[in-house]
Amino acid sequence: MTTPRTQAARRMRMAELLAERSIRSQGELRQALAEEGFPVTQATVSRDLVDLGATKSLDADGRPQYVLRTEVGIEPIADSTRLARAMHELAVSAAHSGPIVVVRTPPGAAQYLASVIDRSGWDAVLGTVAGDDTVLMVTAEPDVAPIVVDEVLAMAEGRAVGSSTDSIEEEQ
């Protein structure tokens, strides 16, 4: 199988390397990537590690190594403030059909919003698919979709989820 030399492919391989073996430094990771046809700078490795959510943790011998957040029992980024702000700024409308929630955005904003949703750790959402101005959110159960729509609309209107008195605009 041939792998394209794209950012996504590089990051996927980085995650695999971190899961497969002990990587103790950015230089070591940079060398491993270069050996696999991904020549990168130290700055790129550093940015990729942050974006992957990698952290340093001690191995069984007490030596530091890079690990992915999920490997050390840390949940995905649960940043409800970031999610609420993104919904407030970008969600134009929301509706559902079965387990699918459709969120409309201004042109060009759907992929960013989908990424924020994916990184938020929102348990009710299994994943997203984004076009140019539409985000499809797949919910865990069909009966959860109307609740997700209500939460999206609350965030879009600047209300904290579950509270009609809290406002995102008050935080700004």
What pLDDT does 78 receive? 47
Question: pLDDT grade, residue 2 (50/70/90)?
Answer: low
Q: Which residues pair with 65 in a beta bridge?
A: 57
Check whether residue 31 and residue 104 sit in a common domain.
Answer: no
Chosen domain end from 72, 103, 128: 72
Q: Is residue 142 part of a domain?
A: yes
Q: Are residues 50 and 127 in the same domain?
A: no
| Structural domain includes residue 40 | yes
Residue 1 lies in a domain: no
- What is the CATH number for 119? 3.30.1360.40
Q: Is residue 26 part of a domain?
A: yes
Could you read off the pLDDT of 20-43 as tens digits, one per residue?
888 999 999 999 999 988 999 999
Strands of the sheet with 93-97, listed across from one edge: 93-97, 100-104, 134-139, 125-130
Total domains in the fold of the chain: 2
Burial class of 7 by CB neighbour count within 10 A (0 to 12, 13 to 18, 19+): middle
26-35 vs 42-52: helix crossing angle, rounded to 10: 100
Q: What is the pLDDT of residue 5?
A: 76
List, for residues 147-171, the tens digit of each pLDDT value. Answer: 999 999 999 998 765 433 333 344 4
Average pLDDT in the 96-103 region? 96
Residue 29's domain comprises: 7-72
How far is residue 101's CA from residue 122's CA, in Å, rounded to a whole number?
13
